[in-house]
Chain A
Amino acid sequence: MRRGPLALLLILAALPALFLAPFDLGAVRIAGVSLTWWYGGAVGPLLAFLLTLARLPR
């Protein structure tokens, strides 16, 4: 598989990994919001958007 789609799949896979991470890592609060919510609600989608832009030809 090409690298761009593979990287997007890895960005997706990071969220279930946070769900299942030991010691409730996903529940750690950063600026009042849990790590899972930061990643799934903001960082992950933004990262996927930027990566897609970078991988598409002009």
Chain B
Amino acid sequence: MRFVSAWATPVLLLAVPTALIAGGRDGLWLGLLFVVAPLFAALAAPEPAAAGGRPSLPPAVLLLVVGVIVWANLGLAGDVATWMRGPRWTGIVPAAIAAAGLGLWPRASRRWLWLVPVGLVALLLPVAVMVQASGSNPIVIWTEVASQPAFRFSRQSPWVTEGRPVGPRRGLVALAFDEEHRLTPLDPGPFRVEVNDSGRVQVQEWTLTPGQSVTLRPGDRLQLDGPRRLKFEADKRVPGAPASGIAWADSSFVPRWLRLLSILGLGLTLLGGAVALAGPASSARPTRAGVALGGAVLLALLAWAECWAIYAVRWAPELYLGGVAGAALLELPGLVLRGSPWSPLLAGAGLVGLLALFLAACAALRERLAEAGGLWAWVLAVAALLALMPIEPWSLMLSALGLGASCLAPLVLLGPPPARPHAAAWAVGVGLALFLGVTAVGRLWPPAAPVAQALVAYPALVAAPAAAAVLRVAGRPARA
């Protein structure tokens, strides 16, 4: 179970329904990796008792990987607080204090594993209620979604009846409209629209008083400078949603060859990241009973993520507005069970579930850090400070796993060459330099070419093979 606890952090778990909602069929790849990557790590990691045992991992890199994972999860806590219309610290500080308290509690070392089933039950409860309330099982709902001609605002949608804030998410800075749509901004301020006039794009700016409406035409794009309360028109297509149910269920939204590169990049990042997390010599190889229990938890979490995504696409396509965000998914019970007095409680159960998984992950990651000489309190403090900056948690998580895949996974899988023990340090150095270098180049000079964009998104594609090559070459016997 320990190997699953370190893996199934809230950021990674929420990324699965987010990918399924946003990418449809393409999101299945992340779901499959979510289950298979830790199982691969359990099988591929060398036995501690094998010749040479598990290699000792560089403490600084291990500290960096664990630190960024904690940062990403505390960042998600901040995002949840923002979603609940509070300041970021109201989510980050309690989560960090709870994680620190768990570390100080003497009995926690034996009992923290119970947090995983607690989290699982708390997450599955809202799904069970939504399935019961909808009167249809997820397979029937999937079929309904896949045959929908379009994703439209319902008349009861809060975005239609009262208006809701819509802001830029995941780098999306504009809402594209496919049909005529009357929009009512509820907050004062300028309203900028990119108008497409016979192929000529120009930005028009209006200043509307609260309650005044503007009609956007097909092809117009509303610029999103910051969160802003907007009221949409009922029965119109949700901007940003897929063209139809069949497009969501069976089509891909990216070109074929670029998809292959992204599949490879995400696969290498997650498989390598899982190996790096399972690799420290301090973590014993999971037993068959442990894998049976942990694997069952992973399958249940995947089922939760799939149900969450299918019900969201069916009952709450408004989540597409401004890009799908993990923290906003917690609102799903309220959107499916509109008007039910139980929906705030069910959203709360989801929050409790994520908090329990976060605490279990912290306890498991703290054990991984035993090789790095502890420093847990410092990791938490620094991560909590950094989490105050609103940075996309999923991109942080990808960076942490990519770093593990680039520097630690080759060492765990291939081991240091017995004849040249210093080669391990060289391999880690090459992996680290290439990973940081590619990431920095991508940030400073964002590439225009799609292949370069994929390489920058998954630097492990370059760094991990290079680190493995150093170990391989160093492991060859010297010529006489």
Contacts and interface: CB of A to CB of B under 8 A. Distances in A.
A43 B127 CA distance: 21
Contact of A41 (B39, B267, B291, B306): B306
Nearest to A47: B36
Interface in A10-57: 11-12, 15-16, 19-20, 24, 26-27, 31-34, 36-37, 40-41, 44-46, 48-49, 52-53, 55-57
A24 B250 CA distance: 9
Nearest to B296: A49
A40 B29 contact: yes
B140 interface: yes
Interface string B162-198: 0000000000000000000000000000000000000
B32 A12 contact: yes
A46 B414 CA distance: 28
Nearest to B250: A27
Interface string B9-48: 0000000000000000110110111011001101110000
B143 interface: yes
Nearest to B20: A41
Contacts, number: 101
Nearest to B140: A32
Given A36-B28, A40-B29, A45-B36, A52 B43 contact: yes
Given A27-B250, A53-B292, A58-B288, A33 B28 contact: no
Nearest to A52: B39
A37 B245 CA distance: 14
Interface residues of B, number: 38
Chain A: interface secondary structure? helix
A49 B249 CA distance: 25
A53 B291 contact: yes
Contact of B143 (A9, A32, A45): A32
A9 B41 CA distance: 11
Interface string B285-310: 01110011001101100100010000
B7 interface: no
A58 B90 CA distance: 46
A5 B291 contact: no
A9 B40 contact: yes
A41 B44 CA distance: 23
Contact of A15 (B28, B43, B292): B28
B139 interface: yes
A44 B42 contact: no
Contacts of A48: 32, 35-36, 39
Nearest to A24: B250
A49 to B, nearest CB: 4
Contact size class for A? Answer: 20 to 34
A28 to B, nearest CB: 10
Nearest to B249: A34
Contacts of B288: 53, 56-58
A34 B299 contact: no
A31 B139 contact: yes
Contacts of B286: 56
Given A15-B29, A16-B263, A52-B39, A45 B299 contact: yes
Contact of B299 (A11, A32, A49): A49
A29 B399 CA distance: 37
A40 B267 CA distance: 14
Contact of A11 (B36, B42, B306): B36
A44 B143 contact: no
Most A-side CB within 10 Å, residue of B25, B33, B259, B299: B25
B250 A34 contact: yes
B146 interface: yes
A37 B295 contact: no
B252 interface: yes
B260 interface: yes
Given A12-B32, A16-B260, A26-B250, A37 B43 contact: no
Contacts of A46: 299
Given A8-B36, A19-B25, A53-B292, A2 B306 contact: no
Nearest to B270: A12
A3 B139 CA distance: 34
Q: Which of B40, B140, B286, B295 has the most CB of A within 10 A?
A: B40
Contacts of A41: 28, 31, 302, 306
Which 6 A-B pairs rank lowest in CB-CB distance, beginning with the nearest?
A: A40-B28, A45-B35, A32-B143, A52-B39, A4-B43, A49-B295
